[in-house]
Chains A and B, each alone.
Chain A
Amino acid sequence: MAMEPKSWGRYPRVSGQKAHPVTWTSEPLPVPPEGGSLLPHGLGRSYGDSCLNAGGSLLTTERLDHFLGFDPATGVLRCESGVTLDGILRLVTNQGWFLPATPGTKFVTVGGAIANDVHGKNHVRVGTFGRHLRRFELVRSDGSRRVCSPEENRDWFEATIGGLGLTGLITWAELQLRRVSNPYMHQETIAFSNLEGFLKLTRESTRDFEYTVAWVDSLARGRHLGRGLFHRANHAPPQFTARQPSPPRLSGLAVPFDFPGLALNRVSVTAFNALHYRMRNQGLMHYEPYFFPLDSVHHWNRIYGSQGFVQFQCVVPPNDAGVAALKEILDRSAHSGMPSFLTVLKTYGDVPSPGWMSFPKAGYSLALDFANRGERTYQLVDELDRLTREAGGRVYPAKDSRMSPESFAAYYPERERFAQYVDPAFSSSFWRRVRGAG
């Protein structure tokens, strides 16, 4: 709370940021510092520099965390933008409701979830977070306030969903939750021996399973390229008969300090992958470890050492060029000598998002984590950015610290229209980078 705000990947580091806590929705926005600008900041769970603002102010929303109403009959929830997905789940799961779309960590704010238009393992079915938004309030630096919805101020609604915090401060939002019968998941895990195996499983599974995701062994090469584990799941049915697993106890585990730079080497990643690849299971599971396996270890980003890490997440179209690009990307990183610790493959559907700048589109999404080894790492990631662009895919700003202005222009065709809605007093390190302005 008191420390210099960083992003989750801790790369790049930026300096001269000032935190300005926003405590009440009715507060006017501060005047940006001389030569600086404003940027809303949630829990800093974005990896790169989209939640950072070198030389400017961060409007921190930690205290903007009041619930404004919940109707257990309809599942409509209204809350301030600093409320976390964790806070929402704690309030609603026991009343038979769940978030319609959730990312791999519950430690994100509603404002952050809107600004990145986050998605979960059920994108094929339900699309992004923004699809389930009913309305929100947007406050601009000129003091204006707008309630935005598909009916009211629709252009602002669509610009702000996936709008990277640049259109103004979201103070509160209203979401439509989805019904569940209980807090449990029914899940199964199947091993596949290469990328074709993944494609086959994903085709077979999307009809019967709401949630699908695959973990990939990033070191496997040749005919094993893209081998991994396929996880598929549904919310448990109302009267499941199996013995109920007990809810997880909070582990309270935390990585207390930065690991020395060598902890994540080829040997440890190989060992981890080999171990993980053998894990298979099936059955009931509480939703917490299912959706948020990494959250049980606080500050796990510290295992990458103080240099931080670079995540790269792209989506490629569901055609031959897309699949070829996936192979190429996996192959490059397997041969780079800089193994990705966690490699995740997902399938996206064609449910459209209202957001002009929303990242997901139909196809396959691959996320890779690279420990930051300086120039070598950046070159590799820049290369992956180029491969993605050539295949007609796009890279996720929430996970990005490297994409070039040319790539950004190719990925986000609506950017010029969007730029007209950017608040003149707002900016971010990411925005200046991809606009080619410093």
Chain B
Amino acid sequence: MKKVLVLGATSAIAQATVRLLAARGASLYLVARHAERLEAVAQDARTRGAARVEAETLDLDDFAQHEPLVERATAALGGLDGALLAHGVLGDQERAQRSYGETEKVLRTNFLSAVSLLTPLANRFEAQRAGTLVVISSVAGDRGRQSNYVYGASKGALSVFLQGLRNRLAPAGVAVVTVKPGFVDTPMTAAVKKNALFASPEAVARGLLRAVDTHQDEVYLPDFWRPIMFLIRSIPERVFKRLKL
């Protein structure tokens, strides 16, 4: 990945990844909602050695902007061979249970906006027969649990969409990498009490790029989540529905 579009560039995982890409001398097109924060991330990437950094302030909930955005990024970097989709919201499960409006917001941001962005990106990469799409999903998408199934459903749908996309794009030599982090110590989880399962955004970013470099399709970060999620998926529904998870 040398010319990379980063969506949700001010998120903790995206920032950590941007730093690693910058140190590798990549060219970056960074997109986020807050202009000041985005500027800090862009300056940081420039200082750390990125070949070129462009920044655009945009609310990704504005789907009409997605196609033109991909055009602008491609034009600005003189081509595109990678995209990192890192924007997302945790949402509020309780509020979502009370009102569909909250549920729809989570699904829109985490699933539909990703689909809307991946459509022009996938078509472009398929046509150029090269490129890497890296998308942050979540272990929460592996099985619905009462404590956060709305978020989980948005990520589960995303993971399934990516499976299909990977299947479609493989013949064109386009990689689709599904990243499934567990708990990450970020502002998104600031209110959650931390335990040994929490990973740093830096560790997740390193794992993410390792997955890209070694052509993995789906990666759990840290990788101890793979066996844990295997176990959680194997619990029979009959038993699972009685668990307080």
B36 near A68 (CB under 8 angstroms)?
no
Q: Which stretch of A21-29, A46-54, A300-308, A340-348 is in the interface?
A: A21-29
For the A-B complex, the count of residue pairs with Cβ-Cβ distances under 8 Å equals 41
Out of A2, A24, A63, A70, name the residue touching B194 (CB < 8 Å): A2
Across the interface, which residues of A come within 8 angstroms of B41, CB to CB? 66
Across the interface, which residues of B come within 8 angstroms of A63, CB to CB? 12, 187
B37 near A69 (CB under 8 angstroms)?
no
Across the interface, which residues of A come within 8 angstroms of B195, CB to CB? 2
B48 near A26 (CB under 8 angstroms)?
no
A2 near B47 (CB under 8 angstroms)?
no
A63 to B187, CA, bound (A): 9
A91 to B47, CA, bound (A): 9
Q: Does B89 contact A (CB under 8 A)?
A: no
Out of B40, B198, B200, name the residue touching A80 (CB < 8 Å): B40
- Most A CB contacts (10 A, CB to CB) among B48, B193, B194 go to B48
Across the interface, which residues of A come within 8 angstroms of B44, CB to CB? 66-68
A25 to B43, CA, bound (A): 13
Q: Does B56 contact A (CB under 8 A)?
A: no
On whether A2 and B198 interact (CB within 8 A), knowing A21-B190, A67-B47, the answer reads yes
Bitwise, B32-56 to A at CB < 8 A (1) or not (0) is 0010110011011011100000000
B47 near A25 (CB under 8 angstroms)?
no
Query: Distance (Å) between the CB of A59 and the closest chain B CB?
Result: 13
A21 to B191, CA, bound (A): 11
Near A by CB (< 8 A), chain B positions 176-219 give 185, 187, 190, 193-195, 198, 200
Q: Does A250 contact B (CB under 8 A)?
A: no
A80 to B193, CA, bound (A): 27
Across the interface, which residues of B come within 8 angstroms of A25, CB to CB? 36, 40
Q: Does A1 contact B (CB under 8 A)?
A: yes
Bitwise, A18-62 to B at CB < 8 A (1) or not (0) is 000101111000000000000000000000000000000000000
A345 to B194, CA, bound (A): 41
How many residues of B sit at the interface, in one of the four size bands?
A: 10 to 19
A23 near B187 (CB under 8 angstroms)?
yes
On whether A1 and B185 interact (CB within 8 A), knowing A21-B190, A68-B47, the answer reads yes
A24 near B37 (CB under 8 angstroms)?
yes
Near A by CB (< 8 A), chain B positions 198-244 give 198, 200
On whether A68 and B185 interact (CB within 8 A), knowing A1-B194, A2-B198, A91-B47, the answer reads no
Residue ID in chain B nearest A2 by CB atoms: B194
A91 near B48 (CB under 8 angstroms)?
yes
A24 near B40 (CB under 8 angstroms)?
yes
Query: Distance (Å) between the CB of A109 and the closest chain B CB?
Result: 15
A23 to B188, CA, bound (A): 12
Across the interface, which residues of A come within 8 angstroms of B40, CB to CB? 24-25, 66, 68, 80
B190 near A67 (CB under 8 angstroms)?
no
A2 to B197, CA, bound (A): 11
A21 to B192, CA, bound (A): 13
A26 to B185, CA, bound (A): 21
Near A by CB (< 8 A), chain B positions 118-146 give none
Residue ID in chain B nearest A71 by CB atoms: B47
- Most A CB contacts (10 A, CB to CB) among B41, B43, B195, B198 go to B43
Across the interface, which residues of B come within 8 angstroms of A26, CB to CB? 36-37
A271 to B227, CA, bound (A): 48
A416 to B128, CA, bound (A): 69
Query: Distance (Å) between the CB of A66 and the closest chain B CB?
Result: 4
Bitwise, B103-122 to A at CB < 8 A (1) or not (0) is 00000000000000000000
Query: Distance (Å) between the CB of B33 and the closest chain A CB?
Result: 12
A79 to B44, CA, bound (A): 8
A44 to B71, CA, bound (A): 46
A69 near B48 (CB under 8 angstroms)?
no
Across the interface, which residues of B come within 8 angstroms of A69, CB to CB? 43, 46-47
A25 to B35, CA, bound (A): 12
A66 to B41, CA, bound (A): 7
B185 near A2 (CB under 8 angstroms)?
yes
A67 to B42, CA, bound (A): 9
A66 to B37, CA, bound (A): 10
Near B by CB (< 8 A), chain A positions 50-102 give 63, 66-70, 79-80, 91
A1 to B37, CA, bound (A): 22
On whether A70 and B47 interact (CB within 8 A), knowing A1-B185, A2-B185, the answer reads yes
User: Which 8 pairs across A and B sit closest by C-beta, in order of nearness?
Assistant: A2-B194, A67-B47, A66-B44, A66-B40, A26-B36, A68-B43, A67-B44, A70-B47
23 pairs across A/B with beta carbons < 8 Å? A1-B194, A1-B200, A2-B185, A2-B194, A21-B187, A21-B190, A24-B34, A24-B36, A24-B37, A25-B36, A63-B187, A66-B41, A66-B43, A67-B43, A67-B44, A67-B47, A68-B40, A68-B43, A68-B44, A70-B47, A80-B40, A91-B47, A91-B48
Q: A2-B195, A2-B198, A91-B48 are in contact. List 4 more A-B contacts (CB 8 A).
A: A2-B194, A25-B36, A26-B36, A67-B44
